[in-house]
């Protein structure tokens, strides 16, 4: 699927995917929950933030590198976990992992990936890998996943807390979405058919049935403590949207919080993740690392999130569009564009290092209406 | 009119009705007053409310049941009174009543229904029924309606206070709307032709002439007291839009207040009902039940209204679209979708019971611009 | 030009005119200055005002009558002065005057009308007439106009202060607008050709050249005093947009202030007239009557303006669309629709008399975002 | 390229250029950086400012003249430096310079112009000329430019501080923009090919490569001091967007500050320049002159900027559209339209002299929502 188009920004990749991916897959990737209010907000909320660039600061040498949980990455943008990437490209998660390694950042593998924990580790032996965890009703399944992630040298567990059940994405319901027959939930290959397939449901999306029957909606903060007990891997709590839950995450031993609304795919009507970032930054007050995902599409989006206090951001869909465009190479291109855009944005804003990006760099657009 | 389409949200039913109902009926059902500013606002105001979901709360068992005026309902969404439902489907109000009973919620029958008080009661013997009252110039007509509702075991009277005359809906005026010849205002079968027919008017809508000649525009709060005297049925005052009127309703013995702008069909330019809900909740301060209708289209809309203090919400047009789609079955589908959406929204917001839905769950979107 | 269409609101008349008037005339009537920011605002600002209706108030008898400058009118909507009405219909201002009389309200005749002061007086002998004054460089011309208005029993002079020169309306410039050859500025029939014709200009609109050469841009508040000296007619100062100028108008003897931005035809970028109304009402503090024009299109617009403190409102363009539709009858229809809409709006808001319309009836939409 | 169209406002010239310029050139001129958020904002922010006009002030004689850095100009609108004007018209910067002189205002020549410092000076011997400076890695190149500007009697140096590297304009990247082969960076004719050509880049815009290889991204406020040392010409610091940088500019000897976001071509997501103007005016507190560019398209835009404290404004793209329309004559037309619009706006706002334009004339639109 290599192409000779002129891809100059991330939206070009989405447009490509819209034209070339099969509809079921594209819809699954693109959709937000219900009326997609939050999906639009994730993009628009960034537009309401305004940058206050500073000049004449010698920006000849920029250094975009930073660390997350102590591990170095070449720039503060990681790959968010997204399910079933082989629908975008036969190489799926393996391609994504290689792309992340190629540009020097972290790849987060989803529990419900179409490539297994081990395959991805092999494909990306030196890259930084995190494993995203959904907790299954059968705790042995969960524990087994943790063990395999440890063994395959994933460096953190990303516990997604916003998904006791799956949100309703209308297009998937209309399409009666299911995982194409030739694909498997690769982390469950050896398990029963129930957990390694997403079958066609009678009504709505097969994925909703999958999650409803397998995920455990009864988990509480105590399960975080349980996880902490069974593994030494640092825990990133993904999906926090309130200061209150951020405090609870801290109390229960989270090493980091990933502010996220799951790409607007769970509860429609929640604010953009970047809108809630400030209240969480304020509550956490430096006691753990804070990341953000949702709607990051340009270098200036990254700059804004960092200025508001995120240590790094993650991107979900753009990688899928990159895969759809050209597998590993496409995914690399996506990450490189973001990196270059961030580099340029930093230069134009007067920042040489990530630590130069402070809260003085960003204001809400309402700031100016008060002047 | 049964169909094999994929109906995944309430808007699908409206789209179906737009295509399949005859224009006069569809326009009558859909329209708001004048420029339809408020009609749009009823939808948009919900979009400006943002949910603050909480996670890791064990949402494995959800219970959506609640009570209204002491009567149990299976979920906090009732059927608002809408006139002349037989234009949507030959079974009209009878189908709606059966649908409400089927999903375990209340059906409110309009005074100007095309099925009579008794027909609806027979069709829905075990269901919870309320009767919506317009006060006719001839008080004996009104009293007779009350007696019949009592006898047929309706459990509350819903006095609509926002309709001394009917609002002006432009499409009806253009269409010279009248009730199709084969239909009757069924509650007035035995009365004179004037009250059981909506005849074609020379100019504008026949319904406006109907209301102008029959409804009593001179009623005041004293008539509420009169009603209280002549019946033991609890009184729900429907159409309140200010804290001031809410206080008066309380003073005059209302058992509940239904915050409503009549689906934006009366005075154009009034706020969305959900916008005024907070000032009324504050004024009433728990002294009576408060409901809301207007623009409720999704489970998250229900969640937002409840978080702002409504005990239950009502839906009007969606039931008409359900009828148009497939009579009783269509109406059931509409209610079930809402129920399922609310159930899902509660799970995703960390709520297991209706009582878990508190004001902490919702903020105005301006909340975030101040952070 | 009588028609059998269904005209149910004022916009229907504009749509008719857009299709049937010749382009030069329609453009001249419709346009606002430059980018038409204010033209849009005049409409949108009304939408941002929300009504707080009160119920159960016995609205069986409504009385819309009021007085302006002591003269009774049947409802608080007058006819604003608009120039050259014969382009809309051969009967021009005469038809408008008869229409105003027919519905019992005031007609304001423009200085640059295509029917003369005397013709209009004759056509509308018992109607209330006001005369709008532009001050010409030649003060004798101005004084002569005042004398003729006095003699023809016009009851007030409306001094337009926002037009030292004409604003730039792009469409007129493109069309090289001029008064059609068969028409005359009827108040200057006996004068030189310069003042009774609007000739084709080489560039832009002939009207701009007309005003530039004839109107006096040097007038100041002293000229108001001069006017007060030469006539006993009460002075309405038209075009005030700030509290500061309202105070000056009061000091210089204005009997009334007409808050107006000249239908958005002068300085583009000024606020909607209804936006500035509150600051002027506050400053004037009841010391003179305050009217408003600009963007009034529905009964609820009237209600809002009155609730904010206007004693009456005026409408400009809608009368032109009425004329275009059907001369005097069309103009009557326009006024009757507004009257009926206001009557209905009052009933639905709980107001029986104009004095029932108080500031409690209206809030800005931001009111609710603060609750 | 002379034409007989009816050009009545600046947008007409852009529309003409959109149709008649070759796509690469038009895109280069029109584009803003990345998603063009700021490009839209530059226009919209003016719309959010509202004028408060005053009347009856004798506006018969208007005088639009003012001074900048002590030099008289006929109206407070200057020509901003824009690169490579020969793509718009063969006469390029020479035509622009003549146009500026013809209407009596300042022309700012870009470092990367297609006409040289000397050519422009010759073409416009009596006009006021400023020279815009980019600092090249090779300081001798820079110093040489300064010397030539001094010798050719340019009256100020405009140091652009917002361009350590060029921003990313997507259309240029797609078009692989380069300077057409027959054109040269005329100020570098005698230098190496690297600095006088913009060659086709392999990826993206050749201009970005040009700037990256030649401009010095390491410059700091010290280089301002260095410039001050090597020349007596007053320094205008162009591109300031924060009060903080305005203070630094003052400290380092700036004679004037040009508030600008480079026509939204550098860092996307910065506020409109007119949004930041107030904070800079406040910080500078009269200690140096302040100008503004970005999105000025009408006379009322000029009025608003001046009311907020700018001494003059500059326009970039409109001159390019004027050139494209009709070379020098087109550029003159553009400036004359702006002048006439400003003259009219002043008359309609009650201002006779530039000094009559005070902060009382303008408010944010939010001003009225608080009344
Ligand atoms: C197609 C798709 C699948 C996803 N699958 C998962 C998943 O398996 N686990 C998870 O925690 N998040 C999942 N997410 C959420 C992402 O991790 C991330 O929060 C989101 O995509 C960020 O928003 P963005 O797509 O706007 O960058 C998924 C998102 C998408 C779009
Ligand atoms: C077609 C139609 C007919 C209605 N008839 C009545 C009625 O007879 N009595 C009444 O109190 N309200 C009536 N209403 C108002 C509804 O009870 C309810 O307030 C409104 O429909 C709620 O808004 P929604 O349609 O957006 O859900 C009617 C509404 C519609 C749309
Ligand atoms: C075509 C036209 C001509 C006008 N001519 C005059 C005039 O001669 N004198 C005057 O004071 N105002 C004139 N006006 C302004 C009106 O009196 C009034 O302020 C304005 O039309 C009110 O806004 P509306 O058209 O939105 O109702 C004119 C307005 C229009 C639209
Ligand atoms: C095509 C183009 C080229 C430009 N070239 C330069 C330049 O060489 N140097 C500079 O300081 N600014 C340059 N600018 C920025 C302008 O000086 C000015 O800041 C901007 O155009 C003002 O915005 P406006 O185009 O909306 O009026 C350029 C702008 C444009 C549109």
- Mind listing the pLDDT tens digit for each residue in B129-177? 999 999 999 999 999 999 999 999 999 999 999 999 999 999 999 999 9
Where in the sequence numbering do the catalytic residues of D fall? 262
Q: Name C83's Cβ contacts closer than 8 Å, sequence gap at least 6.
A: C110, C112, C113, C114
| Helix C221-230 and helix C243-251, axial crossing angle in degrees, nearest 10 | 30
CA of A124 to the centre of ligand 3 (A): 73
Q: Is B37 on the interface with C (CB under 8 A)?
A: yes
- CATH classification code of A10-234+298-350: 3.20.20.70
| Separation of alpha carbons A52 and A349, rounded Å | 7
pLDDT for the residue B2: 45
Look at residue B4 and tell me whether its pLDDT is greater than 60.
no
Report which protein residue has its CA nearest ligand 1's atom 20: A263
Strand partners, D156: D130
Residue of chain A with shortest Cα separation from B6: A174
Look at residue A62 and tell me whether its pLDDT is greater than 90.
yes
Q: Quick one: average pLDDT of A166-185?
A: 94
**CB pair distance less than 8 Å for D348 and C276:** no
Which structure tokens are listed for D162?
Answer: 């917002």
Burial class, C65, CB count within 10 angstroms (exposed 0-12 / middle 13-18 / buried 19+): middle
CA of B203 to the centre of ligand 3 (A): 31
pLDDT for the residue B208: 87
Look at residue B297 and tell me whether its pLDDT is greater than 50.
yes
pLDDT for the residue A193: 61
Per-residue pLDDT of D262-319, as tens digits, reads 999 999 999 999 999 999 999 999 999 999 999 999 999 999 999 999 999 999 999 9
In this predicted model, which residue has the larger pLDDT, D93 or B213? D93
Strand partners, D177: none
pLDDT for the residue A157: 98
pLDDT for the residue B193: 60
pLDDT for the residue A209: 87
| Separation of alpha carbons D368 and C22, rounded Å | 38
Sign of the torsion angle spanned by Cα atoms B316, B317, B323, B325: negative
Look at residue B189 and tell me whether its pLDDT is greater than 50.
yes
Q: Quick one: average pLDDT of C324-345?
A: 98
Q: Name B88's Cβ contacts closer than 8 Å, sequence gap at least 6.
A: B17, B21, B25, B29, B320, B321, B323, B324
Name residues contacting ligand 3 (CB within 6 A).
C 29, 42, 80-83, 110, 112, 132, 160, 238, 260, 262-263, 265, 293-296, 315-317
Per-residue pLDDT of C91-127, as tens digits, reads 999 999 999 999 999 999 999 999 999 999 999 899 9
| Separation of alpha carbons C295 and C290, rounded Å | 16
pLDDT for the residue C192: 65
Give the whole-number percent of chain B exceeding pLDDT 70: 97
Q: Name C128's Cβ contacts closer than 8 Å, sequence gap at least 6.
A: C71, C73, C100, C101, C105, C106, C107, C155
Tell me the pLDDT band of C270, cut-offs 50, 70 and 90.
Answer: very high
pLDDT for the residue A1: 43
**CB pair distance less than 8 Å for B267 and C345:** yes
Q: Spell out the domain ranges in chain B.
A: 10-234+298-350
| Separation of alpha carbons D101 and D78, rounded Å | 10
Tell me the pLDDT band of A211, cut-offs 50, 70 and 90.
Answer: confident
Question: What pairing do the DSSP bridges indicate for beta strands C362-364 and C49-51?
Answer: antiparallel
Mean pLDDT of chain A: 95
Residue of chain B with shortest Cα separation from A369: B369
Mean pLDDT of chain D: 95
pLDDT for the residue C218: 96
Distances (CA, A) of D70 to A198, D66, D77, D246, D311: 76, 9, 15, 21, 12
Per-residue pLDDT of C40-75, as tens digits, reads 999 999 999 999 999 999 999 999 999 999 999 999
Give the whole-number percent of chain C exceeding pLDDT 70: 97
Q: Quick one: average pLDDT of D232-255?
A: 98
pLDDT for the residue C195: 75
- Is the pTM higher than 0.90? The answer reads yes
Look at residue D190 and tell me whether its pLDDT is greater than 80.
no
Q: Which residues of C touch D47 (CB under 8 A)?
A: 37, 269
Q: How far is D32 from chain C (nearest CA, A)?
A: 22
Q: Quick one: average pLDDT of D3-29?
A: 93
Look at residue A217 and tell me whether its pLDDT is greater than 50.
yes
pLDDT for the residue C127: 95
Closest CA to A216 of A282, A276, A154, A164: A164
pLDDT for the residue D2: 45
CA of D316 to the centre of ligand 4 (A): 5
| Separation of alpha carbons C98 and C120, rounded Å | 8
**CB pair distance less than 8 Å for D54 and C240:** no
Question: ∠A358-A363-A369 over CA atoms, to 5°?
Answer: 160
Look at residue C2 and tell me whether its pLDDT is greater than 50.
no
Q: Are B70 and B41 in contact (CB under 8 A)?
A: no
Q: Quick one: average pLDDT of D4-17?
A: 92
Give the whole-number percent of chain B exceeding pLDDT 90: 90
Give the whole-number percent of chain D exceeding pLDDT 70: 97
Look at residue D193 and tell me whether its pLDDT is greater than 70.
no
Distances (CA, A) of D181 to A121, B88, D26, D186, D204: 51, 70, 17, 13, 17
B226: number of Cβ within 10 Å: 16
3 state SS of B129: strand
3 state SS of A310: coil
Look at residue C190 and tell me whether its pLDDT is greater than 80.
no
The chains in contact with chain D, meaning 3 or more Cβ pairs closer than 8 Å, are: A, C
Closest CA to C238 of C258, C220, C267, C219: C258
Q: Quick one: average pLDDT of D55-65?
A: 97
Determine phi and psi for B257, rounding to 5 degrees. -120, 130
Which structure tokens are listed for C272?
Answer: 């909607």
Closest CA to B129 of B89, B90, B100, B102: B100
Where in the sequence numbering do the catalytic residues of C fall? 262
Question: Which of the ligands is closest to the CA of residue D187?
Answer: 4
By Cβ distance, the residue of D8, D52, D365 closest to C174 is D8
Look at residue A2 and tell me whether its pLDDT is greater than 80.
no
pLDDT for the residue D195: 74
Which structure tokens are listed for A21?
Answer: 């991916």
pLDDT for the residue C1: 43
Per-residue pLDDT of C257-268, as tens digits, reads 999 999 999 999
Sign of the torsion angle spanned by Cα atoms D305, D309, D311, D316: negative
pLDDT for the residue D196: 77
Strand partners, A258: A238, A291
Per-residue pLDDT of D339-365, as tens digits, reads 999 999 999 999 999 999 999 999 999
A215 lines ligand 1 (CB under 6 A): no
CA of B263 to the centre of ligand 2 (A): 5
A224 lines ligand 1 (CB under 6 A): no
Per-residue pLDDT of B211-264, as tens digits, reads 888 999 999 999 999 999 999 999 999 999 999 999 999 999 999 999 999 999
């Amino acid at each position: 699927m290599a192409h000779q188009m002129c891809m100059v920004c991330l939206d070009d990749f989405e447009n490509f995917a819209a034209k070339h991916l099969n509809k079921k897959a594209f819809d699954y990737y693109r959709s937000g929950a219900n009326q997609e209010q939050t999906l639009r907000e994730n993009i628009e909320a960034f537009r309401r933030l305004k940058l206050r660039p500073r000049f004449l600061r010698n920006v000849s040498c920029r250094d975009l590198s930073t660390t997350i949980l102590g591990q170095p990455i070449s720039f503060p943008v990681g790959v968010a976990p997204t399910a079933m990437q082989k629908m975008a490209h036969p190489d799926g998660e393996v391609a994504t992992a290689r792309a992340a390694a190629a540009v020097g950042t972290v790849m987060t593998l989803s529990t419900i990936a179409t490539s297994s924990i081990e395959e991805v580790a092999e494909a990306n032996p030196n890259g930084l890998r995190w494993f995203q965890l959904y907790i299954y009703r059968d705790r042995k399944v969960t524990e087994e996943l943790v063990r395999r992630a440890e063994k395959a040298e994933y460096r953190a567990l990303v516990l997604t807390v916003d998904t006791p059940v799956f949100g309703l994405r209308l297009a998937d319901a209309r399409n009666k979405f299911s995982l194409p027959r030739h694909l498997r939930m690769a982390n469950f290959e050896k398990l029963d058919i129930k957990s390694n397939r997403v079958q066609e449901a009678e009504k709505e999306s097969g994925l909703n049935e999958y999650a409803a029957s397998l995920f455990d909606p009864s988990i509480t903060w105590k399960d975080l403590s349980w996880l902490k007990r069974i593994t030494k891997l640092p825990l990133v709590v993904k999906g926090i949207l309130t200061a209150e839950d951020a405090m609870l995450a801290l109390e229960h031993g989270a090493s980091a919080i990933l502010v996220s609304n799951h790409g607007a795919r769970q509860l429609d009507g929640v604010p953009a993740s970047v809108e809630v970032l400030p209240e969480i930054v304020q509550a956490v007050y430096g006691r753990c690392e804070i990341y953000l995902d949702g709607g990051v599409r340009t270098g200036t989006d990254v700059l804004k999130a960092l200025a508001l206090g995120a240590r790094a951001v993650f991107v979900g869909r753009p990688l899928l569009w990159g895969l759809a465009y050209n597998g590993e190479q496409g995914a690399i291109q996506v990450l490189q564009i973001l990196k270059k855009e961030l580099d340029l944005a930093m230069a134009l804003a007067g920042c040489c290092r990530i630590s130069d990006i402070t809260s003085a760099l960003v204001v809400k657009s309402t700031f100016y209406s008060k002047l």
